[in-house]
Structure 1
Amino acid sequence: MTKKIIAFGASSSTNSINKQLAAYAASQFENADTEVLDLNDYEMPIFSLDREAKSGIPELAHHFFEKLGTADLIIVSLAEHNGAYSTAFKNIFDWTSRINPKFFQGKQTLILATSPGPRGGLTVLEIAKNRFPFQGAVVNGSFSLPSFNENFNANEGITNEQLKNDLLEIIESIEL
């Protein structure tokens, strides 16, 4: 039976390097159907308790939650904005957690991060590794790709052999 992967970059950038990394990682799994989500398709008002009381939880939050529910594996690559999640992802995180605090729904999860800089989003990656299990993620691995522009090519994927092998080792350890 073919397994389903939901992958996304946790950024609203139209040229998101994290979306590229998430899609690349998903493509490394054999015999899996992959759907790559774009957070721009889930743009909602900024979360607030007052807004929720007045208007309820937006339908887009329900759609995002349902998409996650269809996955056998979730791959999320986190953009790091000022050492934390991007506002776009944090807003979806906040709204979706109102549907169910464990919105990852017990799904296997691979957490990635990249940035143009040499740390590759390590700060936000550490935040997610510690936080996501509380939201119902079964974290099967994490990987940081430093210096995206030097180590990734749209046609080839990860070009640094050591980094590519590091990611492939994590992928091979995940049983779908």
Structure 2
Amino acid sequence: MKVLAFAASNSRQSINNALVKYATSRIEQAEVEILDLNDFEMPIYSIDREKEHGIPEQAQRFYDKVGGADAIVISFAEHNGSYTAAYKNIFDWVSRIDMKVYQNTPMLLLATSPGPGGAQSVLNTAVNSAPYFAADVKAHLSIPSFFDNFDLEKNTLVNDELTTSLESALKKLTN
């Protein structure tokens, strides 16, 4: 099984990156590729840019990565209750190639934040809109109060209930 994973953030210190790496490390017998959104940085999408310059090569590369995956794991960072600008811009460009951005690939959607909300707003948005973009969402999970529930030194969840929920979500993704 080939799993494509990324944090929907361009922060080098992203807690969502830590979460997505931890989650994918729990998937047995899988080849995991972790993407860095910084490798897909493009001008801010506009129809004028698209008409003048076409779709950037980075958008096609991202689309091809999604198409080559058997499963996808995304952990969403939340900026002002919504997607990060980095993720939204990549998504906007890729959707111009094909509105079926996720190409019917099974997905696990995660989110975390330092606060008790656990980036639930952006996760809800992602879960609700994903089917319109050909995502097969198998499970989703928010991890609230990241620094209380995750040990960065040991790279592990320390909350047993959340660990059980993550293991259940991973089983739904891989079965």
TM-score (normalised: structure 1): 0.96
> 1:22 offset after TM fit, Å?
1.0
Corresponding residue for residue 49 of structure 2: 51
How far, CA to CA, are the matches of 1:97 and 1:51 in structure 2?
15
Q: Which runs of 5+ in 1 are unaligned?
A: none
Deviations 1:57-98 (A, max 9, x none): 000000000111111000000000000000000000000000
Q: Which runs of 5+ in 2 are unaligned?
A: none
> 1:23 offset after TM fit, Å?
1.3
Q: Secondary structure at the match of 2:109?
A: strand
How far, CA to CA, are the matches of 1:96 and 1:157 in structure 2?
33
1:42 matches 2:40: yes
Q: Secondary structure at the match of 1:174?
A: helix
How far, CA to CA, are the matches of 1:117 and 1:45 in structure 2?
31
Corresponding residue for residue 158 of structure 2: 159
- Aligned pairs for 1:13-162 within 5 A: 13-154=11-152, 155-162=154-161
155-164 vs 26-35, which deviates more? 155-164
Residue identity opposite 1:49 in structure 2: I
Deviations 1:20-68 (A, max 9, x none): 1111111111100000000011100000000000000000000000111
How much is the aligned-residue C-alpha RMSD, in angstroms?
Answer: 0.9
TM-score (normalised: structure 2): 0.97
Residue identity opposite 2:100 in structure 1: K
Residue identity opposite 1:67 in structure 2: K
Q: Percent of pairs identical after alignment?
A: 48
Corresponding residue for residue 170 of structure 1: 169
Residue identity opposite 1:128 in structure 2: A
146-155 vs 105-114, which deviates more? 146-155
List structure 1 runs of 4+ shifted beyond 3 angstroms. Answer: none
Q: Secondary structure at the match of 1:103?
A: coil
> 1:175 offset after TM fit, Å?
3.0
